[in-house]
Amino acid sequence: MGVFIIISAGLWGIGALTGAPSRARWSMIGLLYLAVLLAVALVPENNPFGGAFGEWAILGVGACGVVAYRFGLAKLRARVAQSTPDTPKADKLSDAELERYMRHIVLPDIGGTGQKKLKDAKVLVVGAGGLGAPVLQYLAASGVGTIGVIDDDVVDVSNLQRQVIHTDDRLGMPKVFSAQMAMTAQNPFVEVRPYNRRFDETCAQLVAQYDLVLDGSDNFETRYLVNRLCVEQATPLVAAAITQWEGQISTYNSANNTPCYQCVFPIAPAAGMVPSCSEAGVAAPLPGILGTMMAMEAIKELTGAGQGLAGRLVIYDALYAQTRTIVVKKRADCPICGG
């Protein structure tokens, strides 16, 4: 095959010197390959190019695969570029972004239009702990353009068992800044807005700035407050909770006539009835499973793909590998969204 490579290189060089387009140069090499293949087939032994017919055939199939991939990639890029013709050039997906998000773009339910929606989206994540860690990582990796994260805690060594966005060398650092470092290192094309503070009543205007809120907080007071502010601002909410081996997740969007969090959980448990993770323990991968599900529901909400969890509550039991889905309904007497 050495002779073939030398002749091919010579043809390519001659084409370059004469100004021939690359397509013409590739055509010349292709014709040379067909001639070699024919020669090897007719003179299987002592042919000047070496190699058996099967080896040359495999080489041709591989080359065709590479050409087909490059052709398909070029076509896909052109289709994505044409999907937003009226968008200013700066707002389009760059070549680097197209390459990065290609596995999304080839999905029919997302495509170039859906990826552009992700780039334009703003998502607020409440909590940068067990649930927040995978949520933030996958939102950043997926190309959600603006990601806010609010948490007033710092990284502790006991967090590292499950909060995989944080590392040992960032112990004592506010979690929002630790998460920001990891997210921007993973994807420099996203904007991360860290809010090193507790989520409280003053966060109503903060919620209003975002298209979607994901609640991964670890206490009922915050969960009910996040829900109320989302209802007031007509902002969809994806919320999950975990304990020991179990977790649950749903999407709440009362503005779309589906239940809010308080429709499903009218009254918070009495103090001490539901122990925290520090008291009851939690299996390390569990928040990863539920947090990844939260990120998946966020992608669907933002792109319009598939069917979301509004009106359905998913309960996952990791210990016995069982998943149940319960239909939940809006309550007319709900003090938050009823009436």
Encode pLDDT of 129-185 as tens digits. 999 999 999 999 999 999 999 999 999 999 999 999 999 999 999 999 999 999 999
Q: Which of 13-22, 46-55, 89-98 comes out lowest in average pLDDT?
A: 46-55
- Record the tokens describing residue 134, joined without a space: 């995978």
The pTM of the whole model exceeds 0.95: no
Encode pLDDT of 185-197 as tens digits. 999 999 999 999 9
| Separation of alpha carbons 250 and 242, rounded Å | 13
3-state SS track over the chain: CHHHHHHHHHHHHHHHHHCCCHHHHHHHHHHHHHHHHHHHHHCCCCCCCCCCHHHHHHHHHHHHHHHHHHHHHHHHHHHHHHCCCCCCHHHCCCHHHHHHCHHHHCCCCCHHHHHHHHHHCEEEEECCCCCHHHHHHHHHHHCCCEEEEECCCECCHHHHHCCCCCCHHHCCCEHHHHHHHHHHHHCCCCEEEEECCCCCHHHHHHHHCCCEEEECCCCHHHHHHHHHHHHHCCCCEEEEEEEECEEEEEEECHHHCCCCHHHHCCCCCCCCCCCCHHHHCECCHHHHHHHHHHHHHHHHHHHCCCCCCECEEEEEECCCCEEEEEECCCCCCCCCCCC
**Residue 140 to residues 100, 146, 148, 225, Cα–Cα distance (Å):** 12, 9, 11, 26
Decide: 263 and 276 in contact? Cβ < 8 Å: no
- Record the tokens describing residue 48, joined without a space: 């000047």
What local confidence, expressed as pLDDT, does residue 66 receive?
61
Calculate mean pLDDT across residues 116-127: 97
- Record the tokens describing residue 312, joined without a space: 């359905």
pLDDT band at 280 (very low <50, low <70, confident <90, very high): confident
62/108: higher pLDDT: 108
Calculate mean pLDDT across residues 312-332: 96
